[in-house]
Amino acid sequence: MILANYINDLLYRYECVIVPNFGGFVTNKIGAKIDAFTDTFSPPSKQITFNSHLNVNDGLLANYIASSENISFEQATNAIAVSVLKWQNELQNNSLKIGSIGVLSLNKEGQIIFEPNHKVNYLADSFGLAPLTSSSIKRYKEVVKPLVSASETQNKKRVPAFIKYAASAAILLSLTFVGTTMYQQDEQKQLLAKQEIALEKKIQAATFVISNPLPTIQLNVLKEAVILKPFHVVAGAFQFPENAKKKVDQLKKQGYNAHILGVNKWGLTEVAFNSFADRNDAINDLYKIQNTVSKDAWLLLKK
């Protein structure tokens, strides 16, 4: 099992992915940028940072591995712990590359330094958008012709007489052609005007009036304001919907605002203890539930 691959998948969908007893990879959305030196336009992206203090297991990574590998939550947690131990041992001697996410290393004080991979854009909204470099603009330079003196003009060769006659004949032919064309255009305009008048008369003759028109119906559409709470403290995911409904009834008796979130892409029905609009409120409630009710609870962001 390659732990970095699962972290890489979750960074596209979540703002924070915590590796228990190691640290958390946090994303921060940044807008499009322009490099004035290279004339390069970069699309919006997610900036990845690493925080070694975010090491409490929120269940997100373990639950994703358990669902992907078809193993239990405990087995997924143990697999994460083994990978973390290998990472910690490797960091003592060398830098550690976390897949395509970036490179971790230790400084002189023993603190973890993270260098992200800027070639990967984890912002789903910018999928398919690559940096664009504009080409240089060439300015047009006007060429000034030198003045020709009167003496130089007189020294030029005279134009032969037959060329003058040929030019005059060409001008006369052009004027004749233009006159003929304008006459034909006038005839076409008169013909079109006659056709439009005849068509208008036919339309007027075919016009009819409805004596008893149907009454107008006015529909009033009410807009219902929906308050979205994207942060959910999940109690579990069930294969059978009836088990999920039993879990909701059980949690409601315990005083939780429990409800069914829906069916995930693996066909499991997810049940939440509570849902929150604020991420910090959701994390505080998650830690409280993990310490008192269920250590297997995890945080889900569902927009």
For 125-159, the pLDDT digits (tens) are: 776 677 777 776 666 666 777 766 656 555 555 55
Look up tokens 């959305």; give the residue.
29
- Please give the Cα distance from 167 to 256 (Å, whole number): 99
- Please give the Cα distance from 100 to 121 (Å, whole number): 11
- Please give the Cα distance from 131 to 119 (Å, whole number): 10
Domain that holds residue 243: 231-301
- Please give the Cα distance from 127 to 150 (Å, whole number): 69
pLDDT tens-digit map of 198-229? 555 454 444 444 445 555 444 443 333 334 78
Look up tokens 């056709």; give the residue.
195
Q: What is the DSSP letter of 154?
A: H
Q: Coil, helix or strand for 223?
A: coil
**pTM metric for this prediction:** 0.44
- Ranked by mean pLDDT, the top range of 1-10, 50-59, 103-112, 242-251 is 242-251
Domain assignment present for 168: no
pLDDT at 233 over 90: yes
Domains identified in the chain, total number: 2
* C-alpha 288 chain-centroid distance: 35
> Among 115, 133, 151, which residue terminates a domain?
133
Domain assignment present for 17: yes
31-35, 52-56, 60-64, 118-122: segment of lowest average pLDDT: 31-35
> Among 99, 133, 167, which residue terminates a domain?
133
* Rounded average pLDDT over 48-68: 90
- Please give the Cα distance from 10 to 12 (Å, whole number): 5
Q: Which residue type is seen at 69?
A: E
Domain assignment present for 167: no
pLDDT tens-digit map of 83-96? 999 998 988 889 98
Within 8 A by CB and 6+ apart from 273, the residues are 233, 234, 235, 251, 256, 257, 258, 285, 289, 293, 297
What does 241-292 look like in DSSP terms, one character per residue? HHHHHHHHHHHHHTT---EEEEE-TTSPEEEEEEEESSHHHHHHHHHHHHHH
Domain assignment present for 38: yes
Domain assignment present for 20: yes
Q: Which residue type is seen at 206?
A: A
- Please give the Cα distance from 56 to 24 (Å, whole number): 9
Domain assignment present for 259: yes
Q: Which residue type is seen at 238?
A: F
Q: Which residue type is seen at 209?
A: V
Q: Which two tokens stand for residue 210?
A: 């409805």
- Please give the Cα distance from 261 to 264 (Å, whole number): 9
> Among 133, 168, 200, which residue terminates a domain?
133
Q: What is the DSSP letter of 239?
A: S
* C-alpha 54 chain-centroid distance: 28
